Amino acid sequence: MPSTASCPSAYVGRFAPTPSGYLHFGSLIAALASYLDARAAGGRWLLRMEDLDPPREMPGAQSAILQALETYGFEWDGRMVRQSERLHTYNAVIDRLWRDGDAYACICSRKQLQPFAGLYPGFCRDAGRDLKDSAIRLRVPDREYAFTDRLQGEFRQHIGREVGDFVIRRRDGLIAYQLAVVLDDAWQGVTDIVRGADLLDSTPRQLYLQELLGLPQPRYLHVPLIIQPDGHKLGKRYRSPPLQPEEATPLLLRALRALGQPTASELDDAHPSEILAWAIPRWGAERIPHSRTLAEAQLR
């Protein structure tokens, strides 16, 4: 009989930051939840830098993100993958989708689309345009996609009516997050996606891409977003303070409490890696508040 030690868990989780800014408390919540969920399952935890948008990248953000993760005690498995290394793969898939008629070239300007509030009216859908100087849009089916989130329960979205055909490669050649994330999660063998609830709305588009490309569907757990008193998401746009090295211990404890997990006073002066080691065997995803947002002011 093989021992459990020689039979590692099939769980593969990941953290996938975008280097458009530094990590903040909201990112710490997502990183911590995905890390503890993976390690408690005996799984692997991967790190992927989602650097698909050089004009929006903040200089120095990639190294600051790595530094913050290390200071906060996170250890990832294997080599960190950068999406900028994988453009060839994304473009090959996009060209195939275009050739097969699942995607089409679109020359609509932002201005033309403004009155439609994000729902593409289909102007270029049947125009048979050439790839040159065009964005590429994916044709979406006229149906609902649903999945059961481990925390948020059932989530449904009719992508035909609520999203419409969406861009997978911009006219300037930038690859859309939705396509890259689906290809990379499958390529890296990710079984469990634990991330912020701001991405719940993106998940049905990702389910459609998985179905279209014949890729497996991972399990999902969307953790609550931390919101500021004015109702804004805690994020880069609202100048959330970047994670500071000297705050690692108190912020990890605060993040654990925000996630509904136990802490102990003996951890008040502990090293970040000791806090993580303490928290792994005590992790219970079912204790995370079952809500999409948490008010920052209410966190202890």
Which residues are marked as active site? 236
Asked if 199 touches ligand GLU (CB under 6 A), the answer is yes
Nearest to 258 by CA among 46, 20, 36: 36
Q: Which of 181, 258, 259, 276 binds ligand GLU (CB under 6 A)?
A: 181
Distance in Å, CB of 20 to ligand GLU, minimum: 8
x-or-dash string of contact with ligand GLU, 20-59, rule CB under 6 A:
------------------------------x---------
3-state secondary structure of 269: coil
137: which strand partners? 104, 167
Asked if 137 touches ligand GLU (CB under 6 A), the answer is no
- Name the phi and psi angles at 56, rounded to 5: -95, 0
Distances (CA, A) of 61 to 18, 20, 79, 195: 9, 7, 18, 20
195: which strand partners? 222
Asked if 184 touches ligand GLU (CB under 6 A), the answer is no
Q: Which of 11, 13, 16, 94 binds ligand GLU (CB under 6 A)?
A: 16
Distance in Å, CB of 19 to ligand GLU, minimum: 9
Distance in Å, CB of 50 to ligand GLU, minimum: 4
Asked if 64 touches ligand GLU (CB under 6 A), the answer is no
Q: Which of 11, 13, 18, 46 binds ligand GLU (CB under 6 A)?
A: 18
CB-wise, 65 or 105, nearer to ligand GLU?
65
Distance in Å, CB of 18 to ligand GLU, minimum: 4
CB 21 within 8 Å of CB 59: no
Q: What is the DSSP string of 140-167?
A: PPSSEEEEEETTTEEEEEEHHHHT-SEE
- Name the phi and psi angles at 35, rounded to 5: -65, -50
Whose tokens are 């928290």? That residue is 279
CB-wise, 104 or 218, nearer to ligand GLU?
218
Residues forming the site for ligand GLU (CB under 6 A): 16-18, 50, 181, 195, 199
